[in-house]
Amino acid sequence: MTSNLYSFSSYPVMDLIVVYIWWLGILIFLWVLTSVIINIFFSPCVGCFSLSRLGFDSVEYYLILIFSGFILLLIFLNLLIMRSHNPSRGKHFDGFRGVISVVGRQWYWVYSFLGSGISESIDSYYACFVDCVDNGINLLGGGVYGLNITSADVLHSFSLPSANLKIDAVPGRINSVYLFAGVLGRHLGYCSEFCGAGHGYMPIVLNVL
Ligand SMILES: [Cu+2]
């Protein structure tokens, strides 16, 4: 299992998208810079601004092919992500360690780990002034977990910014994602859908060990 570059994400390919966008930005910048320099210093006449007038037809042709290839790659990566976010169509990955059920309640979270056959629920209550709870979620670094998120009363939202994750907890519905626990440490999240008086007092603490 590889470690990720920028965040730990629902699926490692998410980081490839970030790298791809960086490279695309650099390529576009260099391409525009090159065009401007060629037009300024190598243009045969003052009025000529088009590269094709300088005999760049074939260069443009190949560049269009290359960038079309990049777009196809982007579409492919997007499809991978969509597939990875749909557990009913996806497969279980290497390092898959089980499913965690997350239930939002007024005003705490209930976690159950469904990995080892026995299912044990823990309540995660707000415990001190800002951002700590009595029981957090503990995950093994490098593991892939399925999260099933729902609510037992009103709308909540399970939000974990460092994992690019924000999933609504909807009563009567289970939202599923895969979580790739690639970055060690203590990660903090919040309920992100207003759910009543205690909305600000149900933080999410996830420890990747
Ligand atoms: Cu809330």
Tens of pLDDT, residues 161-195: 888 788 999 999 988 887 888 888 888 888 999 99
* Nearest one of 165, 135, 164 to 149, comparing CA atoms: 165
How many CA atoms are closer than 13 Å to the CA of 209, on its beta-carbon side? 7
96-208: CATH number: 2.60.40.420
What's the pLDDT tens digit per position in 23-60? 889 999 999 998 888 877 776 665 555 555 556 667 77
**pLDDT, averaged across the chain:** 79
Around ion ligand 1, residues with a beta carbon closer than 5 Å are 156, 191, 195, 199
If you measure from the C-alpha of residue 134 to the centroid of ligand 1, how many angstroms do you get, rounded to a whole number? 18
Q: Which residue has the higher pLDDT, 191 or 95?
A: 191
In this structure, of 77-91, 104-118, 163-177, the range with the lowest mean pLDDT score is 77-91
